[in-house]
Structure 1
Amino acid sequence: MIETLSTPALLGLFVLCACAVVAGGTAMTGLADRLADRTGLGEALVGGVLLGAATSLSGTVVSLTAALDGRASLAFSNGIGGIAAQTAFLALADLIYRKANLEHAAADLANVFQGTVLMLLLTLPLLALTAPPVTVAGMHPVSVVIVLVYIVGLRASHEVRQAPMWMPVRTDATRPDTAEDAAPDGRSTPALVSRFGALMLVMGLAGWGIAKTTGVAIDRFGLSASVAGALVTAVITSLPELVTTLVAIRQGALQLAIGGIIGGNTFDTLFLTLSDAGYRDGSIYHAVGQQDVFWLVIGLLLTVILVIGQLFRQRHGPAGIGLESLAVLAVYVGAVVLQATLPDPG
């Protein structure tokens, strides 16, 4: 049993799982780019759906496992904290892409649209938090609405890509989504899908290990579940998004980079539905604390800033990055400082 492991062994297992998450996420990037071109769906949509969901799998398992163990705060803050961390990762990626502001170069309507869907999804938990703690079969009705909105959003994103009602203005700094981004690959599409599925299995097992080891550490050392979720498990399970974003940018797949982050964040809202289903002591939205709600608001604020940046499309900004990237980094760092220094009101 994990509970009986010594502290060094516990830390070693946690690090091993974290490395598996990073390695799996790295391998997924190239596969997702090739599948985007093979299927003809494009980088933004495949990044937002396939890559975003797959690289979020470890985080999904963390939240569900924590909820099943009755750890509402850890389950909630892990998903919401991951949204904030992944958005900050995109700002870091802007620092690396030196040709122009990343949001300018990777202009794509599908990513903008998914960003607005994400904002809608993040308002639903706030609605649940302020609504009565009603449950149906142990779940709050908002948890079902989140899934419905996610599904409708995916379909609408596909339609937006297939028949856009407006297009971003092309400039000499805009990097279009082209099939040439992917290197030639002699493997068949089923072989690529099979390898992708195997990597997803590794990510899921690693997520379970991270959830279990973190839960033991919380009990053993008296850690704040909210801090552990938002600043430890959320960041660790979000590392695939950082890796895939950096690799995608290096490969020139800019739409995939942004789409992977936004899509991963959109998928992460489903953590709340799974957590609510796994948490058996009522509505999970009414079992969390103020610090957890704080990260929900931070995630929504960062998403708003990101979408505004995509619409404004500043070509160059201070330090060679967009103003929205600076704002995202400032908000996230400020949030981390507040979370780490303020006492836990719960």
Structure 2
Amino acid sequence: MLIFQTANWTLLESSLVFGGCALVITFAGTRITRVVDQLADRTGIGEAAAGAILLGASTSLSGVVLSVTAAWNGHAELAVSNALGGIAVQTFFLAIADIVYRRANLEHAAASAPNMLQNGLLITLLAWILLAPNLPDATIWGIHPVTPILFAFYIFGIHLIRGVKAAPMWHPSVTRDTRQDQPDPESRIPSLLRLWSEFIVLMAVLGAAGLTLEPAATSIIAQTGLSQTVVGVLLTAVSTSIPELVTSIAAVRRGALTLAVSGIIGGNAFDTLFTAVSDIAYREGSIYHAITSEVEFWVSLTLLMCGILMIGLVRRERYGLGRIGFESSAILVLYIAGVVMLLIS
């Protein structure tokens, strides 16, 4: 693994490297969303599936590389807080996207069975992570049993999501505000070879940025005295999640509402696997049992936010306070309150 010599970095140098990586992640992550949208149209897999699998995995790559690198270097708290803090902030970004979409509540307009199933999968995976520290601290080859369970549940969930798209057993009621994503004209879509080539290059850029971001974050922690949870939740998680904010707003503005919602929720479900792969990389035992009370708080808060989002997806309120759904209002308040509590604790 590439090793960065950060011992002699000043706080300014660490901050510049961190900021530069964040800009690279923003650019590459924003561009890859357009590529994924075109791949969904060219291959016919659909916006929801593309959002859950391709977009969720690709825009999360920098975050997973950062968490794995942190776990490998023994920084368990940073690895887990980056993973779980990213889920919280991306759920917050979904509420921001709802504010941007002024025609109706975003969850009403983008209602679909795959989006609801994705959110149910996310809640299940988060519950396993919250349960793990309360299970026996036993590992096999340094890996806790919850880790393969997370992978198995994720793969099974993706299988169910694809099945729901092919043969849905439930359909949302179509209203005048319901929007279905329309594919671009095929003549305007680049060839599959070009799309996949650009996708792979952008994935490599995002991975390299995540690899560089971890030592910069570690240096900032050492020089400022901030806790790993604060840096993970408020700095690394936010910086690696910026593409989700930019791309969800861009998708909303061009009418790709299902992609906007599924990209966030699908990315969040994929982000739970950060913890699983971090457990594999962490060689000092079960990473779940290295989770601090602050991190457990964020898992619980994120579960609450996702539960409220699920209620919103089922209820489908057309208009609420400020022309956004009640679930978006609640998520905004909960996330901001969580940040305040983290800073003053």
TM-score normalised by L of structure 2: 0.97
2:270 to 242, 267, 272: 267
Match of 2:240 in 1: 237
Shift of 1:186: 4.9
- Determine helix, strand or coil for the equivalent of 2:188: coil
2:282 to 269, 272, 279: 279
Shift of 1:30: 1.1
Q: Does 1:115 align with 2:83?
A: no
Match of 1:217 in 2: 220
> 2:203 corresponds to which letter in structure 1?
M
Shift in alpha-carbon separation, 1:183–1:103, aligned structure 2, 3 A:
farther
Check whether the contact 2:309–2:327 (CA below 8 A) recurs between aligned residues. yes
Number of corresponding residues: 341
Following the alignment from structure 1 to structure 2, what is the Cα–Cα distance between the partners of residues 128 and 64? 19
- Deviations along 1:27-46, whole A, 9 cap, x unmatched? 01211111111111111110
Q: Does 1:36 align with 2:47?
A: no
- Deviations along 1:45-99, whole A, 9 cap, x unmatched? 1011100110000100110011011001000000000000000000001001000
Following the alignment from structure 2 to structure 1, what is the Cα–Cα distance between the partners of residues 228 and 47? 36
2:7 to 3, 27, 40: 3
Report 1:14-163 matches (<5 A).
14-163=18-167
Check whether the contact 1:28–1:244 (CA below 8 A) recurs between aligned residues. no
Check whether the contact 1:32–1:51 (CA below 8 A) recurs between aligned residues. yes
Match of 2:195 in 1: 192
Following the alignment from structure 2 to structure 1, what is the Cα–Cα distance between the partners of residues 79 and 316? 35
Check whether the contact 2:11–2:223 (CA below 8 A) recurs between aligned residues. no
Following the alignment from structure 2 to structure 1, what is the Cα–Cα distance between the partners of residues 321 and 208? 42
Following the alignment from structure 1 to structure 2, what is the Cα–Cα distance between the partners of residues 210 and 136? 30
Match of 2:296 in 1: 293
1:328 to 328, 331, 335: 331
- Deviations along 1:284-303, whole A, 9 cap, x unmatched? 11112100111111111111
Q: Does 1:206 align with 2:209?
A: yes
Q: Structure 1 stretches (4+) deviating beyond 6 angstroms?
A: none
Check whether the contact 1:84–1:332 (CA below 8 A) recurs between aligned residues. yes
Following the alignment from structure 1 to structure 2, what is the Cα–Cα distance between the partners of residues 119 and 184? 40
Match of 1:166 in 2: 170
Q: Does 1:248 align with 2:251?
A: yes
- Determine helix, strand or coil for the equivalent of 1:309: helix
Following the alignment from structure 2 to structure 1, what is the Cα–Cα distance between the partners of residues 247 and 142? 36
Shift of 1:183: 8.0
Following the alignment from structure 2 to structure 1, what is the Cα–Cα distance between the partners of residues 14 and 80? 23
- Determine helix, strand or coil for the equivalent of 2:104: coil
Unpaired runs of 5+ residues, structure 2, are: none
> 1:88 corresponds to which letter in structure 2?
F
Percentage identity across paired residues of the two chains: 47
- Please say which of residues 214-223 and 75-84 is displaced more in the overlay: 214-223
Following the alignment from structure 1 to structure 2, what is the Cα–Cα distance between the partners of residues 211 and 302? 27
Unpaired runs of 5+ residues, structure 1, are: none
Check whether the contact 2:84–2:272 (CA below 8 A) recurs between aligned residues. yes
Check whether the contact 2:143–2:279 (CA below 8 A) recurs between aligned residues. yes
TM-score normalised by L of structure 1: 0.97
Shift of 1:221: 2.0
Shift of 1:187: 2.1
Shift of 1:184: 4.9
Following the alignment from structure 2 to structure 1, what is the Cα–Cα distance between the partners of residues 124 and 201? 32
Following the alignment from structure 1 to structure 2, what is the Cα–Cα distance between the partners of residues 77 and 166? 36
Following the alignment from structure 2 to structure 1, what is the Cα–Cα distance between the partners of residues 206 and 187? 26
1:319 to 306, 318, 322: 322
RMSD of aligned residue pairs (Cα, Å): 1.1
Shift of 1:305: 1.0
Shift of 1:208: 1.2
Following the alignment from structure 2 to structure 1, what is the Cα–Cα distance between the partners of residues 332 and 339? 11
Q: Does 1:228 align with 2:231?
A: yes
Shift in alpha-carbon separation, 1:287–1:186, aligned structure 2, 3 A:
closer
> 1:70 corresponds to which letter in structure 2?
G
